[in-house]
């Protein structure tokens, strides 16, 4: 990022904070706390917020890893066999369209309180972007490259691992960036029902603070959740630059 780009980003952030401050002053602290009030929460409850971010981050990252493994495996199976693609389609659509908030209470019944619910909802939220991106990437190689592989006698497995998997990386990382943010959202939704506050989580903090009219604490947890999602995105972007940047200019 150039100096000019950093200046534009910083200016935009300052304008956003200024607009937030103006709206907060107009509607009152019960509806929207000021940036100063949220900053005060960070000063008083930094330890709790850090612990909550760790728990939510573990659930989100675990769900993202699980969704990545399942999504890539399902995409590879769908490419390998038309019958498997048709068999998987209703389940892929189901995962995409069923609201997580509707199934989270049932996950609580099955898994009980703890990280399991948040990890599962994070995986559900992150699955489809990974599957869709991997499916798109696996058909990215040109017909000439595929014909060359087959002319050289490459097996179908060799075609998948030696050609299509590498060609799928740019699309896959694009899906992973989307899935990274969704995994945090999914984890927090799971924590709304699957966390009892011990240990603290961001989802429980937002829910409890909202119910007890502590909007400043709720907004502080939301800010931390946003930073967590951005952090995961930065890690994925770093991995993308290391793996495919030299070829695709990432």
pLDDT along the chain (250 residues), means of 10: 79 90 87 91 94 97 97 96 94 90 90 93 97 95 87 89 92 96 96 91 94 91 96 94 70
Q: Is residue 82 part of a domain?
A: yes
Number of H helices, E strands in the chain: 12, 0
> For 1, which DSSP code?
-
Q: Is residue 171 part of a domain?
A: yes
Q: Is residue 22 part of a domain?
A: no
Q: Is residue 25 part of a domain?
A: no
Q: Is residue 113 part of a domain?
A: yes
From CA 100, how far away is CA 98, in angstroms rounded?
Answer: 6
- What CA dihedral angle connects 146, 150, 154 and 156, to 10 degrees? 70
Q: Is residue 3 part of a domain?
A: no
The closest of 231, 230, 131, 229 to 171, measured between CA atoms, is 131
Cis, bond preceding 82 (omega within 30 deg of 0)? no
The closest of 119, 92, 126 to 195, measured between CA atoms, is 119
Domain count, the chain: 1
CA dihedral for 162, 166, 172, 173, sign (positive or negative): positive
From CA 31, how far away is CA 48, in angstroms rounded?
Answer: 23
CATH number of the structural domain spanning residue 224: 1.10.3720.10
The pLDDT of residue 250: 46
Residue 162: CB atoms within 10 A of its CB come to: 13
Residue 176: CB atoms within 10 A of its CB come to: 27
From CA 161, how far away is CA 166, in angstroms rounded?
Answer: 7
The closest of 233, 122, 235, 236 to 183, measured between CA atoms, is 122
Q: Is residue 94 part of a domain?
A: yes
- Domain of 43? 39-248
Q: Is residue 7 part of a domain?
A: no
């Amino acid at each position: 990022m150039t100096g000019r780009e950093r200046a534009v980003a910083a200016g935009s952030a300052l304008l956003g904070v200024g607009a937030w401050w103006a709206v907060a002053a107009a509607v009152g602290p019960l509806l929207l706390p000021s940036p100063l009030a949220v900053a005060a929460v960070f000063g008083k409850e930094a330890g709790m917020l850090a612990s909550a971010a760790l728990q939510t981050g573990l659930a989100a990252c675990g769900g993202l890893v699980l969704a990545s493994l399942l999504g890539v495996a399902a995409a590879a199976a769908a490419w390998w066999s038309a019958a498997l693609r048709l068999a998987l389609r209703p389940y892929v659509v189901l995962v995409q369209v069923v609201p997580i908030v509707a199934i989270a209470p049932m996950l609580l019944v099955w898994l009980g309180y703890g990280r399991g619910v948040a990890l599962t909802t994070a995986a559900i939220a992150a699955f489809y972007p990974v599957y869709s991106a991997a499916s798109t990437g696996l058909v990215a190689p040109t017909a000439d490259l595929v014909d060359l592989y087959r002319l050289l006698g490459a097996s179908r497995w060799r075609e998948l691992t030696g050609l299509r998997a590498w060609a799928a990386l740019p699309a896959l990382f694009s899906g992973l960036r989307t899935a990274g943010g969704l995994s945090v959202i999914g984890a927090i939704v799971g924590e709304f029902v699957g966390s009892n506050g011990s240990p603290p989580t961001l989802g429980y903090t937002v829910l409890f603070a909202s119910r007890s009219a502590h909007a400043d604490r709720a907004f502080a947890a939301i800010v931390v959740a946003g930073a967590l999602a951005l952090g995961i995105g930065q890690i994925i972007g770093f991995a993308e630059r290391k793996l495919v940047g030299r070829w695709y200019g990432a």
